[in-house]
Structure 1
Amino acid sequence: MIVLLDTGILGLVASPHNTGEAKECKQWFEGLLARRVTSDICDYEVRRGLLLASITKPNVAGIDKLDTLQQVIDFLPLTKRVMKEAAQLWAVARSQGMHTADNKNIDADIIISAQWKLLAEAYPGQYCCCY
């Protein structure tokens, strides 16, 4: 089984906090018996938030945890193929009246969706989940 982690889940797993939702998510993640993948764009989204937090609150940690997660999570690169697939998905969604983000927004969710679609095509028969 392959599990694709979205930015929200990656952020909770990388969180320096071990209470509430972050703690529950970390416990779920540690018990997960599957190939764990995420996108480089998720790393970017989580990393920029952690960096901003560390600038405004110097005692906030998390970057080291995010870096350590690269040992147990495959971070999928943003390739030309991924970006072309994302552009196609974005255009189809827009043509059907589904606006997933502002027109000028890069729309990370569509890029993550494209990576999920390509991953599912590359590994048919393996249940690919997106969390």
Structure 2
Amino acid sequence: MGNAGTPLIRLLCLLTEADTTHVWHGADHYSAVSVLTDALALIHQIPPESRPPHAIIATLRLAHDLAAHGWLDDHGEPLLQTLTHEGLHRLRPTDVEWLRPLVGDETLLAELELITHRWREP
């Protein structure tokens, strides 16, 4: 991927490209790590107040889909902590299931539990 466009546009393009099985056909583990490293670098180039929650969540979901457990261990909770209350509530309960073990912060854990409750409790 080239350097054309703002970091946000480049991040969204990277996530769009990485969101198809066709892209990963024949890709090795190092390609997955490279994509996640590039995504994280782009996220850090975007001012925090301008980072769209869906891009952070898409990056986390991509890491989960790629079984990048080490990457998630290192970056999962810090990325979640960049999300506002409204941003966190874009997560689904199926996200919470695999994100919960990555989180140590009690406030963030409470938000994750609230997400599951709102989706699954009457």
- Fold match, TM over 0.5? no
Greater length-normalized contact order (CA 8 Å, ≥ 6 residues apart): 1
Bigger proportion of residues as strand: 1
Q: Larger Cα Rg: Structure 1 or Structure 2? A: 1
Bigger proportion of residues as helix: 2
